[in-house]
A and B are shown apart, each in its own frame.
Chain A
Amino acid sequence: SQTIHQWPATLVQPVGSPLSLECTVEGTSNPNLYWYRQAAGRGLQLLFYSVGIGQISSEVPQNLSASRPQDRQFILSSKKLLLSDSGFYLCAWSQSRAGHGYTFGSGTRLTVV
């Protein structure tokens, strides 16, 4: 069966420090991968998605970037964190176009101090 792993679960980082959040999927090949940010009262905002290795689409301009170095690995990064980067970050995957829904990871709570 397919599983999605996301870590760390919580992270407290100072302003200006770098960030790297990792997401991996097991039990499938060539998944579509997604990074979302969940902010209180604002639902889930799609940040990036990837349909293949090295292919990244950005949905919103921001202080973050994403990379997909391997088929089932998706990384969310920042060179210098801002206070406004605090939030709950969710990774998700789908086997085909989004019409069949996503499976979500357990999320990372990021607090920038």
Chain B
Amino acid sequence: AQSVSQHNHHVILSEAASLELGCNYSYGGTVNLFWYVQYPGQHLQLLLKYFSGDPLVKGIKGFEAEFIKSKFSFNLRKPSVQWSDTAEYFCAATGDSSYKLIFGSGTRLLVRP
């Protein structure tokens, strides 16, 4: 069955620390991968997405993610977090022929000033 796993449910960092949030997927066939962010009181927003090509994907607000096919992973990274990055982050996956976007359970990030 298709699934997405996020192993870090809560992460607390100080400003300027580096961030890496884990995401693993289980999906047969071609997979498309996404990271969404939900800031407090706001909509879910797309951070970045991977369809094909360069496995290192750059998104908005200095975020990037690397698709490692051999590890079934799509980890999100940011070299230096800011207080404004406090939010919940969701990894999601789907296939080219699917209508369904499958989400992980989310990671709540708290950045202390």
A residues in contact (CB < 8 Å) with B: 32, 34, 36, 41-46, 49, 51, 57, 59, 90, 92, 94, 97-107
Contact = CB atoms under 8 A, between A and B. Distances in A.
Given A101-B46, A101-B49, A106-B43, A41 B105 contact: yes
B102 A46 contact: yes
Given A99-B95, A104-B43, A46 B90 contact: no
Contacts of B99: 32, 49, 51, 57, 97-98
B90 A43 contact: yes
A99 B43 contact: no
Nearest to B44: A104
Interface of B: 4, 6, 9, 32, 34, 36, 42-44, 46, 49, 51, 90, 92, 94-106
A101 B101 contact: yes
A42 B90 CA distance: 11
20 contacts: A42-B105, A43-B6, A43-B104, A44-B90, A44-B106, A46-B101, A46-B102, A97-B94, A97-B97, A97-B99, A98-B94, A98-B98, A98-B99, A99-B32, A99-B96, A99-B98, A101-B34, A101-B49, A104-B36, A106-B43
A49 B94 CA distance: 14
A59 B100 CA distance: 10
Contacts of A44: 90, 92, 103, 106
Given A42-B105, A105-B43, A107-B43, 5 more contacts: A32-B99, A43-B105, A43-B106, A46-B101, A99-B98
A111 to B, nearest CB: 17
Q: Which 10 A-B pairs have the closest CB atoms?
A: A43-B105, A44-B103, A104-B44, A98-B94, A43-B103, A98-B101, A99-B32, A99-B96, A43-B106, A106-B43
Given A43-B90, A104-B43, A99 B51 contact: yes
Contact of A102 (B6, B101, B104): B101
A32 B105 CA distance: 23
